[in-house]
Chains A and B, each alone.
Chain A
Amino acid sequence: MTYSYYKNMQLNNIIFVYQGEVTADLVSSILQMIENKLEGEGEDRKVKKRVFNVMVECLQNVYHHLDALPPTDPSNPIKDKTALLMIGREEKDYYIITGNHVLNDRIPDLKSRLDRINRATKEELKQLYQEVLTSGGFSEKGTAGLGMIDIARKSGQRLGYDFHPVNDRYSFFSLEARISRIVDK
């Protein structure tokens, strides 16, 4: 059993995976650990910074926006605020995957935002970022609505996403961001 987990992770180039409750302390610890790892392995400084930046946004996104399943929900037998966080390193890319529950009501809005971001050119993303930066204030969660735009800008690649239906109220939302390890000098 353990060996098959190990082989599977190795096969998928996973360098970090976490499933469980997401707290501010946990986010800090993961960031610190991955930063040390990148540092220790002599990754290019620019790549390292991008990975770190995207990781901050992805993890804080989950921390702020996951919709916790009520503990009594039958599809949530274990715990309340759980999520999946995963980081992988392939030959050409780092990838960061997050997975968390969202209320089905939020899907249309999320989906249209992600599609808009994925359709945008580099220049359009810059404009969109400036637009959102200057418009309005913070959401009730203290977030600025800039996270995904910033992730897309730093990634330079399309964001992968999926909504997996869990029950009539919730779906499992996964988001994948890739950062190229190849540096254009």
Chain B
Amino acid sequence: MEALRIESTHKTPRVILDPENGIFEFSGRSIPEDSVGFYLPILDWLEKYAQQPLPQTHVRFDLEYFNTSSSKNILEVLKRLEAIHTAGHEVRVTWYYDEDDEDMEETGQDYQALLNLPIELAVKVQS
């Protein structure tokens, strides 16, 4: 299975899904008008990965902004990961937020509440 890499734009995040090392990343901003179109290939990829996942998958969400239609798609991404976790594979999600960004912290808590998946909230180290 090939890695999926998408470079960031001013409206969409950088996405790295690497099945070699099991380290996935979503970083930047996710504010496209058509978020369904953006996330569809990602969800498809995860669907395939879920059939033969690595014993350990680590997913980093390091998002600066996202719009509400992305938030629904991110939930879908997390649901795919939840399924892998439920099937007995180790999946770890780290949700990064800026120390003063309560809104992003709260969103992470929203996802924690909605999913049966280990989501760790972590303060981003200031650059």
Query: Which residues of the partner chain B approach A11 to less than 8 Å between Cβ atoms?
Result: none
- Min Cβ gap A164→B in Å is 26
Interface residue tally for chain A (C-beta within 8 Å): 31
- Chain B interface bracket (under 10, 10 to 19, 20 to 34, 35 or more): 20 to 34
- Min Cβ gap B98→A in Å is 8
B110 to A, closest residue via Cβ = A130
Q: Does B114 contact A (CB under 8 A)?
A: yes
A144 and B65 form a contact (CB under 8 A): no
Q: Does A134 contact B (CB under 8 A)?
A: yes
Q: A27, A50, A60, A133: which contacts B103 (Cβ < 8 A)?
A: A50
Query: Which residues of the partner chain A approach B65 to less than 8 Å between Cβ atoms?
Result: 49, 52-53, 56
Q: Does B125 contact A (CB under 8 A)?
A: no
A144 and B71 form a contact (CB under 8 A): yes
- Min Cβ gap B97→A in Å is 11
B10 and A142 form a contact (CB under 8 A): no
B69 and A138 form a contact (CB under 8 A): yes
Task: Give per-residue flags for B107-119: 1 if the beta carbon is below 8 A from chain A beta carbons, else 0.
Answer: 0001001100000
Q: Does A46 contact B (CB under 8 A)?
A: yes
B33 and A133 form a contact (CB under 8 A): no
Q: Measured between alpha carbons, how far is A143 from B33 in the docked complex, in Å?
A: 9
Task: Give per-residue flags for A127-152: 1 if the beta carbon is below 8 A from chain B beta carbons, else 0.
Answer: 00110011000100011101101100
Q: A24, A60, A133: which contacts B114 (Cβ < 8 A)?
A: A133
B115 to A, closest residue via Cβ = A134
A32 to B, closest residue via Cβ = B10
- Min Cβ gap A14→B in Å is 24
Q: Does A113 contact B (CB under 8 A)?
A: no
Q: 10 additional contacts, CB 8 Å, given A60-B33, A133-B110, A150-B71?
A: A45-B98, A53-B103, A60-B31, A63-B33, A126-B110, A133-B71, A142-B35, A143-B68, A147-B68, A153-B103
Q: What are 6 pairs between A and B in contact, CB < 8 Å?
A: A60-B31, A60-B33, A138-B72, A144-B69, A147-B68, A149-B68
Instruction: Give residues in B with beta carbon < 8 Å to A.
Output: 10-11, 31, 33-37, 65, 67-69, 71-72, 75, 98, 100-103, 106, 110, 113-114
Please provide the 4 A-B residue pairs with the shortest distance between their CB atoms, ordered closest to farther.
A146-B68, A144-B72, A150-B68, A144-B69
